[in-house]
Amino acid sequence: MDVLVFQILNAVYYASVLFLIAAGLSLIYGVMGIVNMAHGSLFALGAFVTATITQYAAGHVPTLLLFLLLPLGAVAVGILGLAIEPLLLRRLYVRAAEEYPLLITFGLLLILEDAMRFVWGSNPISANLLVQYLGSVSIFGSLYPIYVLFVIAVAIVTGLALWLFVYRTKFGIILRATAQDMKMASGLGLDVRRVYMLAFAGGCFLVALAGAVVVPYQAAVLGMGMDALILAFVVVVIGGLGSLKGALVGALIVGGVRTVGIEFFPELELASLYIIAAAVLLVRPTGLFGTKS
């Protein structure tokens, strides 16, 4: 019984992290029509920055305060996003091809991966302190780390906030209008440039938040972004690129399949995900909730 509950919690934890990553990817694609290849690297960057902040702050501030410092890594990457968009991407909107942003962000990926290797070296960095601080909870007589539940809570709160932001605020309306028809939005006097910049920064913030909440539980290592990117692709392919609901459902499916796979067929666990993604695309070309083709 306890094993079953643990596995379900593991799956939900996994889905929570993937949801944050995929929501960022989908936000950027939904508004700007850009698939950000550097998305995984921004995830890793969020993890590294957060781990470093936690390590420096540990011992100087009460551990409870460290939880408030967690989003700092995400904020830093969000600010980086504010710089990346006008510097690298803005000039490409006039070109019709979707391929150029893909190439630019692939270049950015190469740069970021090496920049992280330069700054942090190849040793894993952990912020395990926070997991220890929260301790464990007893479920059916077995211990389970509370921190995992915290991550799930963060993802739920962030998801709700994002949904309210997109569907219930004025800026959300502007965002959706721009996503639907950029030229028309611009014609109506909306500052499309600003919307693009903020959407990109928002996507960066979300993915880095995933990195930030993951890092106390699983250390920041080089290359973590590469795997994350592929998994995020699988999530958005299943759920539909550009859809928030799709990111959620896709993340739950991938989280579930992965947990089952690790338990029963570890060799084929990753392969089965890709095959599911391909199967979904065969049946529903735009993913389960995608609208754009």
Partner 1 sequence: MKGDAITSRGGAISLRLAVAAILGCALLAIPQLVSPYQTLLLTYGLVMAIAALGFNLLLGYTGLLSFGHSAFFGTGAYTAALMAKYLGIHSMETFILAGLATAFLMSALFGVVCVRHTRIFFAILVMALSQVLWTLAYKFYGITNGTDGLNVPFPTLLGGSLTFRGAGAYQRFIVAYYYYVAVLFLLSAAVMWMITQSPFGKTLQSIRDNQTRAEFIGIRVRLCRWMAFLFSGTFTGLAGVLWLPLNRHVTPDVLYWPFSGEIVFLTVLGGFQSFSGPIVGALAFSYLKTYAVAWTEYWQFLLGAVLIFLVMALPTGIVGTLELLAARLKWPSFKPRI
Interface ranges with partner 1 (CB under 8 A): 29, 35, 88, 91-92, 95, 98-100, 102-104, 106-115, 117-118, 226, 230, 233-234, 236-237, 241, 266-268, 270-271, 274-275, 277-278, 281-282, 285-286, 293
Q: Which is nearer to partner 1, 114 or 181 (CB)?
A: 114
Structure tokens at 47: 């993890």
**CA 133 to CA 285: how far, in whole Å?**
46
Q: Residues, the chain, total?
A: 293
Query: Could you tell me how many helices (H) and strands (E) the chain has, helices first?
Result: 13, 2
Q: 67: which residues sit within 8 A by CB, 6+ positions away?
A: 130
Please report how the helices 39-57 and 99-120 are oriented relative to each other, as an axis angle in degrees rounded to 10: 30
CB 115 within 8 A of CB 222: no
Report, in angstroms and rounded to the nearest whole number, the Rg of the chain calculated over CA atoms: 19
Q: Which is nearer to partner 1, 191 or 263 (CB)?
A: 263
Q: Which is nearer to partner 1, 39 or 147 (CB)?
A: 39
Beta bridge partners of 125: 220
Shortest distance (Å) from residue 121 CB to partner 1: 11
Shortest distance (Å) from residue 257 CB to partner 1: 13
Q: Which is nearer to partner 1, 70 or 109 (CB)?
A: 109
| Amino acid identity at 36 | N
Shortest distance (Å) from residue 110 CB to partner 1: 3
**Closest listed residue to residue 20, CA positions, set 225, 128, 162:** 162
Q: Which is nearer to partner 1, 126 or 258 (CB)?
A: 258
Shortest distance (Å) from residue 141 CB to partner 1: 34
**CA 181 to CA 190: how far, in whole Å?**
11
Shortest distance (Å) from residue 103 CB to partner 1: 5
Q: Which is nearer to partner 1, 4 or 282 (CB)?
A: 282
**CA 287 to CA 270: how far, in whole Å?**
19
Shortest distance (Å) from residue 82 CB to partner 1: 18
**CA 24 to CA 30: how far, in whole Å?**
10
Q: Which is nearer to partner 1, 129 or 230 (CB)?
A: 230
Shortest distance (Å) from residue 268 CB to partner 1: 8
